[in-house]
Structure 1
Amino acid sequence: MIHTWPSPAKINLFLYVTGIRSDGYHSIQSLFQFLNYGDTLKIIPNKTGNIELFSEKKLFLNRENTIINAAQLLKSKALYYKKTNCTNLGAKIFLNKKIPIGSGLGGGSSNAATVLIVLNQLWKIKFTLTELAEFSLKIGSDIPAFVMGKTSVIEGIGEIIHPIKRKEKWYLVIYPKIHILTKNIFSSFLLKNKTQKKPIQLLLSSPFSNDFENIVTKKFRKIKKLISILSLYAPTRITGTGSCVFAEFNDKITAEKIFSLLPKNIEGFIAKSVDISPLHHIFYEKKTHIFN
């Protein structure tokens, strides 16, 4: 039985705020692109009733986070909807972290989605992906897109998902070692700066940008400098509300060449875009081998 599961990174190829709702949530339009790069989670189910999270060094992580929240939410929903009679569902989860925290690459949301999908199967609860996506909004607005697992245009507060197909690209992603809290960036957004909502085809055919970039670069001069450096070689922007900046290339060789031209103290990675989440690829390509 497979125990280790991918938890992929994403980048927002564009991100626009189209309004702020009466409950304070922001309405967005965003192009959500999966990468073949990310964390991994080793998930071992048990019947202790406990959800335990460990680092890759097997250190117990005794704090609230999206992984614990996702497992506890799934368990409570399973009991509420009588998907199980087992009140002592538990799991040991080991996190191997590669996605930087606060980077805009969706690490915490991706971790939560992987936990929801895998434990849904391992605990034999059998919620649909749509049901899991609906539940997951309670934890974070990016999680439904990770649950559904396809490159998509995201609308609303993250619950409206339009899968699309894009040509394979390569991305050079630079991390400035800055942890940005999403809620701080959203709270800095002024309603007067919102973008008019557009039809999806118009969005995809127009130049891409990120409504939060001005806020982030004003708060963090290092990120502005990184954008200036990478922009000498290719169009560059931030992803999400995080600190990572990225540039798009048609092939890996070009991405590697540009990376080699950057100052040696700049950290980053090169990854390929994938239209289907690596987790979904395993589930639906090899499903008959996984849980038998």
Structure 2
Amino acid sequence: MTPLVLPAPAKLNLMLHILGRRPDGYHELQTLFQFLEYGDELSFEPRGDGQIRLETALPGVDHDRNLIVRAARLLQAATGTTHGATIRLIKRLPLGGGIGGGSSDAATTLLGLDHLWGLDLGEDRLAALGLELGADVPVFVRGRAAFAEGVGERLTPVSPQEPWYLVAVPQVAVSTAEIFSAPELTRDSTPITVRSVLEQGGRNDCQPVVEQRYPEVRNALILLNKFVSARLTGTGGCVFGAFPDKAEADKVAAQLPDSLPRFVAKGSNVSSLHRTLQTLS
């Protein structure tokens, strides 16, 4: 059988405000997600023995703890299906980069296996399952640019501009848990509206903490700020700047040092995963 091959696109947090910390330790936040035309790729083949086998190992990540495997097994447990799958991954998105690699892989697994196994759970149920795996997973399941609130689970679809982005990838893996537990992290930003975000933008409350703790990120921001207003995405460590067209982004990318990996990608308000799935339905 021909494998089902699906993209797992990256995302950017165009802003991230932290409003406070909840009694359960999670943070109330407001953020604006947009997808990129760039990401990982997963392929799925059905198995009749009910096993979930991820053929692609990631350094330092145990097979059974990988979000891809956890997503597949969660879907099995939620539905009682006896289907299994062999899964292969082409990994392009960095671990700890703040561009959603693991969360996007998990969402692609949920949607891909829902299709492959003929479960037809629907977006709402799959998004609820995704939230069990991580706060960012539902936005990838929904597949539309969104203003997110709460811990990131309350999503309002939005349609910001879709520029080209230059994304620089400092060679560090930033710990989300470390940044959100940092005593110096701002946790009292004033709530804002979707309209004001789309009209005026916003900042990333995590950026000062990450810059202080990760010199590689600070240096990347300094370099990119020479050409464009640069920001951190999520808790990092990737940083990005927006450009009106690919040529401008490529021009700046060519001027960055070889020691700083980077890529250029188009912003998109509809996930490439959902566009691909629509062609299969």
TM-score (norm 2): 0.94
In structure 1, distance between residues paired with 2:178 and 2:213: 11
In structure 2, distance between residues paired with 1:232 and 1:203: 25
For the pair 1:103 / 2:104, whether they are aligned, the reply is: no
Question: Could you tell me which residue of structure 2 aligns to residue 11 of structure 1?
Answer: 12
2:230 to 236, 257, 260: 236
SS at match of 1:94: strand
1:237–1:247 CA contact under 8 A, matched in 2: yes
TM-superposed CA distance for 1:124, in Å, is 1.4
Spell out the pairing of 1:26-175 with structure 2 (5 A cutoff). Answer: 26-55=27-56, 62-79=63-80, 86=81, 88-175=82-169
> Percent identity between the aligned chains?
37
Q: Which moved more, 1:94-103 or 1:178-187?
A: 178-187
Question: Could you tell me which residue of structure 2 aligns to residue 82 of structure 1?
Answer: none
For the pair 1:225 / 2:208, whether they are aligned, the reply is: no
Q: Which moved more, 1:171-180 or 1:62-71?
A: 62-71
SS at match of 1:168: coil
AA in 2 matched with 1:287? L
**Aligned CA distance change for structure 1 residues 287 and 260 (closer, same or farther; 3 Å):** same
SS at match of 1:158: coil
In structure 1, distance between residues paired with 2:186 and 2:209: 14
TM-superposed CA distance for 1:202, in Å, is 1.3
SS at match of 2:89: strand
TM-superposed CA distance for 1:61, in Å, is 6.5
1:203 to 193, 197, 206: 197
TM-superposed CA distance for 1:193, in Å, is 3.7
TM-superposed CA distance for 1:265, in Å, is 2.1
TM-score (norm 1): 0.91
TM-superposed CA distance for 1:264, in Å, is 2.7
How many positions carry a matched residue from both structures? 278
What is the CA RMSD across the aligned residues, in angstroms?
1.7
**Aligned CA distance change for structure 1 residues 189 and 97 (closer, same or farther; 3 Å):** farther
AA in 1 matched with 2:28? S
Structure 1 runs of 4+ aligned residues shifted over 2 Å read: 60-63, 189-194
In structure 1, distance between residues paired with 2:185 and 2:264: 35
Please list every run of 5 or more consecutive structure 1 residues that lacks an aligned counterpart in the other structure.
80-85
- Deviation sequence 1:233-262 (CA, Å, 0-9, x none): 100011001211101101011111111122
Please list every run of 5 or more consecutive structure 2 residues that lacks an aligned counterpart in the other structure.
none
TM-superposed CA distance for 1:63, in Å, is 3.8
In structure 1, distance between residues paired with 2:112 and 2:106: 10
